[in-house]
Amino acid sequence: MAHPIGTRDLLIKGGRIIDPSQGLDTVGDVLLRNGVVEACGGALGTPDGAEVIDATGLIVAPGFIDVHVHLREPGREDVETVASGAHSAVAGGITAVCAMPNTKPVTDNQAVVGFVKRQGENAALARVYPYGAISVGQKGETLAEIAEMVSAGAVAFSDDGKPVESAQLMRTALEYARAFNVPIAEHCEDMTLARGGSMNEGIMSAKLGLKGIPAEAEEIYVIRDILLAKRTGGHIHLCHLSTKGSVELVRWGKERGINVTAEVCSHHISLTEDAVDGYNTNAKMNPPLRTAEDVEALQQGVADGTIDLLVTDHAPHHYDEKEREFADAPNGIVGLETSLGVNCTYLLHRGIITLPQLVDAMSCKQAKIFRLPGGTLARGSIADVTVFDPNRQWTCDPKQFKSKGRNTPYGGHTFTGQARYTVVGGRVVFTA
Amino acid sequence: MAGPLGKDLLGIAPLSADQIRLVLDTAVPFREISERAIKKVPTLRGATIVNLFFEASTRTRISFEFAEKRLSADTVNVAAAGSSVSKGETLVDTARNLEAMKIDMVVIRHSASGAARFLAERIESNVINAGDGTNEHPTQALLDMLTLRDRFGDLTGKRICIVGDVLHSRVARSNIWGLTKLGAEVAVCGPRSLLPNAIEAMGVTVFNRIEEAIEWADALNVLRLQLERMQAGYIPSLREYNRVFGVTGARLEKAPRDLVILHPGPMNRGVEIDSDVADGPHSVILDQVTNGVAVRMAVLYLLAGGKPELAEAAKKGNA
């Protein structure tokens, strides 16, 4: 079964259409029909029987995509399912996600890839594109069956949650994946430096008496993988960058024409290690929150395009698992329902990026880099649209999340910028 | 029942200089109780205190227990091994169950930094941190400061150097917070691999050579060098550690003044400190142990809502 499509025409009327894939920034209408974009721009008539969204004063953008989420199914359906994660996504204005393969069992074969994909289609909310693992069992030893997983619907490969420690295995993966035109995504972390750490190594870790993770644990893998991409010609995608040094290294790689792309999480462009003070386990993630200098460099990296994508690393955990001693609590926070608000508040409204840049980083480039459908409102493309109000204020109340996870450091924060209509396949799947 | 220290004693970092002085001042009259033939006053009669030790401890646990008993509190000791903790019960469940038995205070030692605070935010009872991971060990720092004050009077401008594994030391952290609040100058000295690299941000000077530290300091607080640090590769060998950083009689002889020597114990004689120093005339190591009971009595008394000015009366058994 495929993702369902809208049975009626949908006219999104009078919004400001921002679609960097076509260089479009204009006030006009968008018409969706039979699951695809029928027309985009200008004043369109209302077809008989069409549903109409009045988008006056709102932004109409190609549907947002988040290539880095953890949906926990199969294995930890108590903390998230594909369906609850897809619901969370559309509540945040996100029409498609890529689900990381650190499930139980690991998504390292075509059967699990097919299962995750089907669960996404059954949920019929955001589109769910499975990641496959790079190595069997994410053990970092043997290359997983990448070709078969591609046939089953995997769109990219990663051992995320841990790094590929063997440089030889990473080299092989980059070479092997070239034939299938899929990115290899790396969780950059030198475990010999990072092991036992639970926050950024710096002033705050010295004060709190917590073992720190130095920036170099990430940066050593960033440059290693860039060099391996240079050697192999493969496409390395660097996950959740958190340090100034990483931004500089990616910039170095891109200047040399190396096939490297990069992403940053909304928490890393908005929060610093200070959020950990008081042993707040909802500020514990990997990579950890860093310093103000890092935050600024990451924001600049988004502004100048060194960092391509704004993602969440959405990582639901059970309340009991976070309600414990800091060093023993698991890493990660949920993010799908806060990312647009965070990105508008900390990047757009501070003048660091423009609206077209925001749409590019949350939609167009996600589709382009991961070779996904969407990311555009060009005629004939899939009818995934995010209609949002960059100026609408709202206060984060984790109890209202559609995700099963409540683990967020943003509870009580007020953001400016919110999704109003989330449209997938021409169907309105969320309204706020 | 929040006294002048608030509900809990979680660390030295949250205390003001006045609060620290208050504890030290209150400890002085309590010290005399332990000198008596009948070492008991009725101050905390009827109060129930649980000593919740998730980590092995001899000195600190016994010191707290004496302090509690000499104030006539009813005490229960819970060790992690053989308790429900070893059956997988969470920290917060353990504490809530104890609290359901109507207790007044919990003294907690735990291997996780922040564990005492975690507990304090979730239960009504007063919580005293008896050491949490590599974060703080406030009563140790208070007894160290009382011992230094016995020797120096005012600590303003006095130079205290903490020697050894500062990176993993809750004693070091609590001492740095406390001594700087009292106006002392604080330095650290040890292998760079055992100092946090952001240590200067805590307002301390760093000495790479023990000889320089000895020349500078009025007192050395010598930390225990744990064997595990060598096994984890932080230093090459205990032998080299002693040769480079060991506090020895020969090194102290070259000091421009008599140094007061503290050690929180237990000592590794021949590693971080030599016996001629530990047992020498300038060692106050056993005074620290004596002061430990008095400081803990003061903390218990103040957290229970005791009035500082009544400490003298409490000593007489009237409060």
Chain B neighbors of A203, CB-CB under 8 A: 198, 201
CA distance A412 to chain B (A): 19
Closest-CA residue of A relative to B122 is A323
Is A104 exposed, middle or buried (CB count within 10 Å of its CB: 0-12, 13-18, 19+)?
Answer: exposed
CATH code for residues A64-369? 3.20.20.140
Q: How far is A62 from chain B (nearest CA, A)?
A: 45
Angstroms from A202 CA to nearest CA on chain B: 6
**Angle, helix A82-91 to helix A110-123, in steps of 10 degrees:** 50
Closest residue in A to B92 (Cα–Cα) = A324
Q: Cβ separation of A327 and B112 shorter than 8 Å?
A: yes
Q: Which chain A residues have any C-beta within 8 angstroms of a chain B C-beta? A: 201-203, 205-211, 278-279, 320, 323-328
Distance CA A192, CA A343 (A): 33
The C-alpha angle with vertex A68 and arms to A66 and A69, in degrees rounded to 5, equals: 95
Q: Indicate yes or no: CB of A208 within 8 angstroms of CB of B113.
A: yes
Phi, psi (rounded to 5 degrees) for B219: -150, 150
Q: Say how many residues make up chain A.
A: 432
Band (pLDDT 50/70/90 cuts) for residue B319 is very low
Q: Are A133 and A161 within 8 A, CB to CB? A: no
Q: How many CB pairs under 8 A join A and B?
A: 61
User: How confident is the model at residue A114, as a pLDDT?
Assistant: 98
The residue among B8, B10, B93, B113 with the most chain A CBs within 10 A of its CB, best to mutate, is B113
> Using CA atoms, how far apart are residues A47 and B94, in angstroms rounded to an integer?
66
The residue to which tokens 């958190």 are assigned: A242
A324·B136 Cβ contact <8 A? no
B90 φ/ψ angles, rounded to the nearest 5 degrees: -75, 160
Cross-chain CB nearest to A328 (options B112, B117, B135)? B112
The answer to whether the Cβ–Cβ distance between A323 and B92 falls below 8 Å is yes
- CA dihedral in degrees (B87, B89, B90, B95; nearest 10)? -120
The answer to whether the Cα torsion of B289, B294, B295, B300 is positive or negative is positive
CA distance B287 to chain A (A): 28
* Residue range(s) in chain A whose domain bears CATH number 2.30.40.10: 10-59+382-431
Q: Does B311 score more than 80 pLDDT?
A: no
SS3 call for B196:
coil
Chain A residues close to B118, C-beta within 8 Å: 279, 324-326
* Contact (CB<8Å) B133/A202: no
Q: Decide if B113 and A210 are in contact by the 8 Å CB cutoff.
A: yes
Check CB contact of B61 with chain A, cutoff 8 Å. Answer: no
Measured between CA atoms, how close is A203 to chain B, in angstroms?
A: 5
- The verdict on a CB contact (< 8 Å) between B134 and A210 is yes
Q: Any idea what DSSP says for residue A372?
A: -
How many other CB atoms are found less than 10 A from the CB of residue A77? Answer: 14
Rounded distance between C-alpha atoms, residue A66 and residue A290, angstroms: 22
Written as six digits, the tokens of A397 are: 């109340």
Nearest residue of chain A to residue B118 (CA atoms) = A325
Contact B189, B245 (CB under 8 A): yes
Using a CB-CB cut-off of 8 Å, the residues of chain B touching A207 are 13, 173, 201-202
Chain B: give the shortest CA distance to residue A274, in Å: 14
Determine, for residues B198 and A324 on separate chains, whether the beta-carbon distance falls below 8 Å.
Answer: no
- CA angle (A202, A205, A208) in 5-degree steps: 150
DSSP string, A203-254: HHHHHHT--EE-HHHHHHHHHHHHHHHHHH---EEE-S---HHHHHHHHHHH
- Chain B, 182-211: which have a CB under 8 Å from a chain A CB? 196-199, 201-202
Q: At A428, list the tokens.
A: 């309105």
Whether chain A has a CB inside 8 Å of the CB on B92: the answer is: yes
DSSP code at position B51: E
Q: What are phi and psi of B77, to 5 degrees?
A: -105, 130
Give the integer Cα–Cα distance in Å for A432 and B228: 56
CB pair distance less than 8 Å for A209 and B173: yes
What is the Cα–Cα distance from A341 to A396, expressed in whole angstroms?
Answer: 9
Length of chain B: 319
With an 8 Å Cβ cutoff, is B171 touching chain A?
no
Average pLDDT over residues B41-68: 94
Tell me the chain A residues in contact with residue B115 when contact means C-beta distances shorter than 8 Å.
325
ipTM: 0.88
**For testing contact with chain A, the best of B194, B197, B231 (most A CBs within 10 A):** B197
Q: The domain at B17-136+292-316 falls in which architecture?
A: 3-Layer(aba) Sandwich (3.40)
Structure tokens of B74? 């009813």
Q: Record the pTM.
A: 0.93
Shortest CA distance from A209: residue in chain B: B135
Cα–Cα distance, B82 to B68 (Å, whole number): 23
CB contact under 8 A, A202 and B135: no
| Residue B2 or residue A364, greater confidence | A364
- What SS3 class is residue B38? coil
Give ∠ CA A414-A421-A352 in degrees, rounded to 5: 50
Q: How far apart are CA A65 and CA A97, in angstroms?
A: 6
Q: Which residue among A202, A209, A326 places its CB closest to the CB of B170?
A: A209
What pLDDT is stored for residue A256 in this prediction? 98
Between chains, do A206 and B198 touch, taking CB under 8 Å as contact? yes
Active site (catalytic) residues of A: 313
pLDDT band at B302 (very low <50, low <70, confident <90, very high): very high
Minimum distance, in Å, between the CA of residue B115 and any CA atom of chain A: 6
CATH annotation of A10-59+382-431: 2.30.40.10
Q: Residue B183: which of B163, B164, B166, B203 has the closest Cα?
A: B203
> Do residue A327 and residue B199 have CB atoms under 8 angstroms apart?
no
Looking at chain B, which residues constitute the CATH 3.40.50.1370 domain(s)? 17-136+292-316, 138-288
Between CA B142 and CA B301 the distance in angstroms is 15
The verdict on a CB contact (< 8 Å) between B135 and A210 is yes
Shortest Cα–Cα distance, B113 to chain A (Å): 6
Cα dihedral sign, A219-A220-A223-A226: negative
For chain A, helix (H) and strand (E) counts, in that order, are 13, 18
Across chain A, which has 432 residues, the per-10-residue mean pLDDT values are: 88 98 98 98 95 98 98 97 98 98 98 98 98 98 98 98 98 97 98 96 95 98 98 98 98 98 98 96 98 98 98 97 94 98 98 98 98 98 98 98 98 98 98 96
Which chain A residue has the Cα nearest residue B176? A207
| CATH number belonging to domain B138-288 | 3.40.50.1370
Q: Which residues of A touch B223 (CB under 8 A)?
A: none
- pLDDT above 60 for B15: yes
The rounded distance, in Å, linking the Cα atoms of A25 and B35 is 85
* Rounded average pLDDT over B256-261: 95
Q: Which of A206, A209, A324 sits opposite B133 (nearest CB)?
A: A209
- What does the pLDDT read at residue B310? 66
User: Strand, coil or helix: what is B3?
Assistant: strand
A206–B201 CB contact, under 8 Å = yes
Residue A36 contacts residue A77 (beta carbons within 8 Å): no
Which pair of structure tokens corresponds to residue A250?
Answer: 């990616």
Q: What pLDDT does B192 receive? A: 95
With residue A76 as reference, give the H or E element that holds it: none
Residue A127, strand partner residues: A96
Cis peptide, bond prior to residue A330, ω within 30 of zero: no
pLDDT single digits (tens) B187-242: 999 999 999 988 988 899 999 999 999 999 999 999 999 877 777 889 999 999 99
**Residues of chain A found within 8 Å of residue B90, distances taken between Cβ atoms:** 320, 323-324
Chain A neighbors of B135, CB-CB under 8 A: 208-210
In terms of Cα–Cα distance, which of B234, B222, B109 is closest to B167? B234
What's the CA gap between A138 and A158, in Å, rounded? 8
CB contact under 8 A, A208 and B197: no
Mode of pairing for the β-strands spanning A94-99 and A51-54: unpaired
Question: Which of A195, A276, A279 is the best substitution to test chain B (most B C-beta atoms within 10 A)?
Answer: A279
Among the listed residues B51, B63, B27, the one whose alpha carbon sits nearest the alpha carbon of residue B104: B51
Give residue B180's pLDDT: 97
Query: How many Cβ atoms are within 10 Å of A274's Cβ, its own excluded?
Result: 13
To the nearest whole Å, the CA of B265 is away from the closest chain A CA by: 20
Name the residue among A375, A417, A386 with its Cα closest to residue A266.
Answer: A417
| Contact (CB<8Å) A326/B202 | no
Q: Six-digit token pair at A23? A: 């260089």
The structure tokens 């005492």 sit at B116
